[in-house]
Structures are given as C-alpha cells and as structure tokens.
Amino acid sequence: MKLSKSEKAIYKNHYKDDLAIYKAERKTDKVKEKTCQLNMRCSPWRFERAIKIITKVDAIKDIGFGGMLRVKQLRIRKGLCHWLLKRFNLTPCTMAINNRPVNVLEADGASIFSLNNGGMDVVTLGDYGTMSKMCQKLNLNVKGEIKVKILEEELITRAGVDDELKGKFILYCLGILLCPCMRESVDRKFVYSLTENAFASNINWGSVTI
C-alpha cells in the first residue's frame, strides 16, 4: 500500500525529530562513554572473514544456518547500541520509537539472520552426565570455557563434515554473533541443545536472538 504525500510527511517529520534528539544525546554520550563502556564480543567482521575460509556451505545450510553465510562486514557503533539499549524495555520486549512502544519479536531476529522461527525449544538445562556425554561426542572440553577462537581455528582447519563440525559451527555462531558473552567464549548451556534435532534444523534458534 502506497502512502499519500501527507502521510509520508508525518514519518519524515518524525525522522527529523528523532535524528535531532539522537545527535543531541550523542554529544553527551561521548562524555559518558569515557567512564561507562559498552563491552561486547559481537563481531560481524570477524565472522564474515571466517565464513570465507570455511568451505562447508552445504553442511551449514543443512542445519538451518544458511542465512548466516550472507552476513556482511559491518561496523558496530557502540554509541548507537547504547542509544537503542536506553529505549529497550526488557519485560514487554518493546523498543520506544517516536515515543511509542514497538514490539520486538523472535520473528524479527530470525528474519534478520534467516534462522528457523519455530520447532523445538532451545534446551539450556541438564545434568552433568548429559553435558559430559555431549562434550565427548563433539570433542569439546568438559570443564572450563569454550573459547570462540579455538572453535574458529578448528572450523577453518577441519577437513570432514560430521556432527562435530556442525555442533561447533552452531556454537561459533552463538558466541560471536547471535548471543555473545562479555568474554570471548560461548555460554556452555547451549551444548544441551546440540542433539540430532539441532543438526536437522528443527531447533528454534531465532529465539536466542531476542
């Protein structure tokens, strides 16, 4: 549906007002950033660079992560991230835009990365025995951090295609782009979801983006 000139003018005025507010707040944010840093490990640039080297395209598509192959090298502006975070309401999961709450849905995150938005829930709870068994199957350390750097190196150098490669690729995506921690490691809880269902693209990975 096309908007009329008068309807378009409303949105253009909202944009101009929001841009003026953003620029004004950026001036004060530059001062605040010196004392309050926004630490993050999300790196589209590093991810895109690794994807160019990892040649297992068909295996990545088979587990439902084909959309991740289209991620481009983007610069993450921490000032903009800080501005967005101030306008995000966690409980109802809404973003304040033009002084109006806009719903931020799992479907939105799934659409951005072309991930599955349905199927089985992402399992993040389990006992030590299950964790140990899963780690042995995927050749992961049972204790300690699962380092993103080590996952990246193993994915680049690994020759064959098997469940180990698929599982480590999913963990790599979570650790560097979809659900990064403040440290350069992957949250170990995601190992519980790396069952046969995960490799058959039956897991709702879109849920971890929100």
pLDDT tens, residue by residue, 102-123 = 898 888 888 888 888 888 888 8
E strand or H helix at 100, and its extent?
strand 100-103
What pLDDT is stored for residue 34 in this prediction?
Answer: 52
Distance CA 185, CA 150 (A): 9
Confidence band for 28, pLDDT divided at 50, 70 and 90? low
Q: Please name every residue paired with 146 in a beta bridge, in sequence order, or none if there are none.
A: 186
> For the chain, how long is the longest CA-to-CA vector?
64
Cβ atoms 170, 63 nearer than 8 A: yes
pLDDT in tens, 133-185: 999 989 998 888 899 999 999 998 888 888 899 999 999 999 988 888 878 88
Domain-by-domain residue ranges, the chain? 44-75+105-209
What angle (nearest 5°) sits at the alpha carbon of residue 171, between those of residues 170 and 176? Answer: 105
Percentage of the chain lying above the pLDDT 90 cut? 19
- Between the two ends of the chain, the Cα-to-Cα distance in Å is 29
What pLDDT is stored for residue 150 in this prediction?
Answer: 92
Tokens (6 digits) for 180: 């990064």
What pLDDT is stored for residue 72 in this prediction?
Answer: 78
Tokens (6 digits) for 61: 């598509």
Tokens (6 digits) for 204: 């709702």
pTM beyond 0.85, yes or no: no
Distance CA 7, CA 13 (A): 10
DSSP code, position 87: T
